[in-house]
A and B are shown apart, each in its own frame.
Chain A
Amino acid sequence: MTFTLAIILAGIVMIALNAYVLLAGADFGGGVWDFFARGDRRQAQRDLISHAIAPIWEANHVWLILVIVLLFTCFPAAFSTIAILLHIPLTLMLLGIVLRGSAFIFRSYGSERDTAQQRWGRVFAIASIATPVLLGMCVGAVATGAIGATAVSRSGSFVSQFIDPWLTMFGVGVGLLALALFSFLAAVYLTVEAEGTELQEDFRTRALWAAGAVFVIAFGVLALSWTEAPMVRQMLMAGPWALPLHIVTGIAAITAIAALWTRHFRLARVAAAAQVTFILWGWAAAQYPYLLPPTLTIEAAAAPNRTLVLILWALAAGACVLLPSLYYLFRVFKMQRRS
């Protein structure tokens, strides 16, 4: 593997997607736990979630915008194909994003009347569940090669072009996996946020359940890949990175569960994030060197070199502003309990 400009930028797209999954993914997961808030401490659970999400969700959200902007600037050919064929799930996902964000802010700033609050809470929770599933389905559609293999033509039928590529069992499986992973991340993060209260135990239990769900769904998806995504399966089983990646993913998963079990929550947080990261990069490695398997490679989809070079400079300059600011944000809001 040679590090061309296109490969480096594809890597940066993956890093941004990774950040989105780790940060915003947990915000979505928070919405899931808002939906499943149960028991005497129902309201306390919701308050904790909302308190944890409020200062950071908008900043987390921008990672997705970065992914999109980088895709259309650096890989315009792939972007336009994705935008045409995944029009429907992406539009639904957008609806989910709009409703979730607005519902959250309306709930925080809305009237004190309980009914209105509850209604927005419902919208927030349901949109938080639907959006990750749709995101996962889009990823699944790319991974199976359905997007890369479908040629758009005026003569093709609507269903075969705009529905079939993404509405598959495998796609649904990946969608559910995304949902389970996001819920797992959120529950683990919340155990740290809830330090020293009964809530911590609530979210510990939830995190363990979610870990179980991740495990079951992940194997289900792998089984489905036998028939539906043979190329991905082959690389996942036999590619040059397959074994080491499986080993580190496994270690991270076991560490996360063990740390939750023994109540080492900070360690669990690191391990859970690592586990999700390895799963994501496993997918990327499995379809390398294709951006849209089975035809479009990263190199072939890339924009002219001049654009890529400039974008790299812009990213470097942006990072100089962004990373310190982001560090500051998280230091102000996420490290206060140490004192």
Chain B
Amino acid sequence: MGMSLAFHILFAVVGIGMPALMVIAEHRWRRTGDAGYLELAKRWSRGTAILFAVGAVSGTVLSFELGLLWPEFMKQAGPLVGMPFSLEGFAFFTEAIFLGVYLYGWDRISPRAHVIAGVLVAVSGALSGIFVVIANAWMNTPRGFTLIDGKFTNVNPIAAMMTPAAFPQTLHMTLAAYAATGFAVAGIHAAMLLRDPRNAFHRRALSVALLVGAPAALVQPLAGDIEARYVARQQPAKLAAMEGLFQTTRGAPLSIGGIPNENERRTRFAIEIPHGLSLLAFHELDAEVKGLDAFPRDEWPPVAIVHLAFDTMVGLGSFMALVSAAVLILLWRKRDIISLRWILIAVVLCGPMGFLCIEAGWTVTEVGRQPWVIYGILRTADAVTPMPGLIVPFLTFTALYCFLGIIVVLLLYQQVLRSPREGETFPHQTDAA
């Protein structure tokens, strides 16, 4: 399950970001008549199609796997979290329909209708991501029921959707999707431009990709702050693990790096910023932050993994935000960023970072919730299917996903990223910029 999710999340994220790129490129082409943007829109739409197809099948696998692996979870939580999943189904449906129209309708419908179809793909893609994250938020802060004898009674699916984690999590994840996709695409084209700085195709691609990625990465730390403060209130054990904080402390320091040792109950080799954690989590210098000692030992998440994943996410995310700030300032001052090698190199570095951040952040939220599958209510161990030999499907799907991943990357290179060859629709030209 973890493997399927880790794989699916990447496709889902690109599936949210890519249509935005595609529509912006088409819009620019329609406005300026610049054939370079048309070529981009066509390539990105092919990329969207490949990723959407693989995302669709891996998403189907997930909807089944929820039940195949966690039948007890679905039996109890189905009536509560089914709502966002149903809505997600509809959003996904809409996305599939309009992607079909967009891909195969270039010369069948009016230009206006075509752009609208593209916009609908982008919007419904974002919505379907939001609904799934709402379902996940419920697992972190379960609401909308009364628990009587271990059974959910008096269920209220609307309250379950309005769970406190819903807003911060969806905001953080949606921004992450745009930032990661934008920078991944920008990074690749920046790398091409380092070798071939006059290539007009890569120039246009870079400008559109940064337009999507940079603003999202820039405001992401704010969304992260909202998210962290909600975790501090709702899931103190997760926050303590994120920070490797073993003792409940007033004016707690912010630990950066270091190796938490669960047996010695301390985090060694960390750089500590005095009062930093209290300030960030509660916006007060001397606020009390609960440490892991406030929780029974068998309710601790794996501290080292969560702490390191959290630091990875924050570290890489901050770097991306800084690069975004630099890019936006330069663009605002009308500087040609392509002539600045250092900024291109920085963008290249950001390319894989967005995805690393997403995997790290996903680790924080999922592993940080352990040992619970529904926080404070149902333990993961009690939700798993009674069928023995689960290692077999696990290994099969892992192998399959790795294989598919490789092929997708190869295809994306061929179809989307490669410099246009002589004689392709986009003439091999160099801009006199």
Contacts and interface: CB of A to CB of B under 8 A. Distances in A.
Q: Do the two chains belong together in a single complex? A: yes
Interface of A: 54-56, 58-59, 61-62, 64-66, 68-70, 72-74, 76-77, 79-84, 87, 90-91, 94-95, 97-99, 101-102, 104-106, 109-111, 152, 154, 158, 161-162, 303-304, 306-307, 310-311, 314-315, 317-318, 321-322, 325-326, 328-329, 332-333, 336
A69 B67 contact: no
12 contacts: A59-B93, A69-B88, A79-B67, A80-B67, A87-B385, A98-B60, A105-B50, A109-B411, A161-B387, A303-B82, A306-B157, A317-B90
A302 to B, nearest CB: 9
Per CB-CB distance, the 7 closest pairs between chain A and chain B, nearest first, are A73-B82, A83-B67, A76-B78, A303-B79, A80-B71, A318-B90, A80-B75
A94 B67 CA distance: 13
Contacts of B332: none
Nearest to B54: A102
A76 B86 contact: no
B411 A106 contact: yes
A97 B67 contact: no
Interface in B135-169: 153, 155-158
Interface stretch (B98-106, B286-294, B419-427): B98-106
A90 B88 CA distance: 22
Contacts of B101: 55, 328-329, 332
B82 A72 contact: yes
B97 A328 contact: yes
Contacts of A77: 75
B47 to A, nearest CB: 9
B86 A318 contact: yes
Given A59-B100, A80-B71, A69 B86 contact: yes
Contacts of B388: 158
Given A61-B96, A84-B386, A332-B108, A307 B82 contact: yes
A54 B80 CA distance: 36
A79 B61 contact: no
Interface in B36-79: 46, 49-50, 52-54, 56-61, 63-68, 71-72, 74-76, 78-79
Nearest to A74: B82
A306 B385 CA distance: 27
B89 interface: yes
B85 interface: yes
B104 A54 contact: yes
Nearest to B109: A332
A332 B107 CA distance: 11
Contacts of B46: 109
A304 B56 CA distance: 30
Nearest to A110: B411
* Size category of the binding interface on chain B: 35 or more
Given A59-B97, A154-B386, A332-B105, A65 B63 contact: yes
B387 A102 contact: no
A322 B87 CA distance: 11
A90 B71 CA distance: 14
A87 B69 CA distance: 9
A246 to B, nearest CB: 34
A165 to B, nearest CB: 12
Contacts of B83: 73, 307, 310-311, 314
B310 interface: no
Contact of A55 (B59, B75, B104, B157): B104
A83 B68 contact: yes
Contacts of B61: 94, 97-98
A315 B93 CA distance: 13
Nearest to A319: B90
Contact of B407 (A95, A102, A321): A102
A336 B108 CA distance: 9
A191 B300 CA distance: 63
B433 interface: no
Given A101-B54, A102-B407, A306-B156, A61 B60 contact: yes
